[in-house]
Amino acid sequence: MRERLTRERLTITLDAGILNHIDAAIDGTNIRNRSHAIEHLLTKALGPRVRTAVILAGGKGVRMQPFTFETPKPLLPIHGRPILEHILFTLRDHGIQHVILMIGYLGEKIKAHCGDGRQWGLKIEYAEDGPLSGTGAPLRKLASRLTEPFILSHGDVLFTIDLEDLIKHHYASGATATMSLTSVDDPSEYGAVRLHGQRIVEFSEKPKTTHATSRLVNAGVYCVNPEMLSLIPKKSHAMLESDVFPTLVEQQTLFGYPFEGQWFDIGTPAQFERAVREWKG
């Protein structure tokens, strides 16, 4: 059951310098006023913490050929910086310190580029996909290494998500997994969801447009409890989208986190070109 978030009115006196920092956090959209800004900043400082992230970076990027014949998709550049670096910097800026990169196709190039992460203030480790493929099967290998909630991200998405807020909502809901959600005009290329409150009650991977559940789609960034890994079937091409998420929907433990930030799924040359034009990260 979702934990009820209660609030109590307080009167406080603050130094003018601190108040300036609070006012600077107000953007009128995600943070609307001083009260919301103070709560947001305190949550970042005192709220539940997630220190580890896993990035799925082992795919062959077939739809991105010929760009990916010699370069793994996560290393394709956006504004002079590889997609993967944008993701790593976003994670670091939201308190993530430890990253496990799941690598496969041209994985040695990713290792050579990222190293151990110290140059970016991160600790980066690697896990090889090996003969496993899909979005689920390689994750099974990490069960013994992941004992606390973690952030999970695909290695080909650019996003501006308040990860601290995502984590807060994950802990408050009691979810096994919390899926970030964004809105698109055509959900047929993504995983469309239907919500009841914050709980996902229907998940449809790549629905026909005429039968789409909604225009809210899976943005490819999650907060996940390690017990989800035990739900991944023992087959070489297990998929989160078809083999795990439907089970979580049945168990009523898959929750959604809609956000209004930037989001680009770089799966095709057209999407890559759009990200080059429009990404503001």
Segment 125-138 shows an average pLDDT of 86
Taking the alpha carbons of 164, 279, 34, 20 in that order, is the dihedral positive or negative? positive
The predicted-structure confidence for 214-244, as pLDDT tens digits, reads as follows: 789 999 999 999 999 999 999 888 999 999 9
Give percent of the chain above pLDDT 70. 91
User: For residues 156 and 264, is the Cβ–Cβ distance under 8 A?
Assistant: no
Fold of 51-278: Spore Coat Polysaccharide Biosynthesis Protein SpsA; Chain A (3.90.550)
Which segments within 61-215 are labelled E, that is strand? 77-78, 81-82, 98-103, 123-128, 150-154, 157-159, 177-183, 191-196, 199-205
The predicted-structure confidence for 84-119, as pLDDT tens digits, reads as follows: 999 999 999 999 999 999 999 999 999 999 999 999
CB burial of residue 18 (10 Å; 0-12, 13-18, 19+): exposed
User: For residues 49 and 94, is the Cβ–Cβ distance under 8 A?
Assistant: no
Token digits for 25? 């956090």
The predicted-structure confidence for 30-86, as pLDDT tens digits, reads as follows: 688 888 888 767 766 665 689 999 999 999 889 899 989 999 999 999 999 999 999
If you average pLDDT over every residue of the chain, what do you get? 89
Peptide bond preceding 66 in cis form (omega within 30 of 0): yes
What pLDDT does 14 receive?
Answer: 85
pLDDT band at 2 (very low <50, low <70, confident <90, very high): very low
Segment 265-279 shows an average pLDDT of 93
CA distance 211 to 204: 9
Give percent of the chain above pLDDT 90. 62
N-to-C CA span, the chain: 36
What stretch(es) of the chain map to CATH 3.90.550.10? 51-278
The predicted-structure confidence for 36-45, as pLDDT tens digits, reads as follows: 888 767 766 6
Is 205 strand, coil or helix? strand
Sequence-distant (6+) residues with CB within 8 A of 1 are 174
What pLDDT does 71 receive?
Answer: 96
CA distance 244 to 256: 15
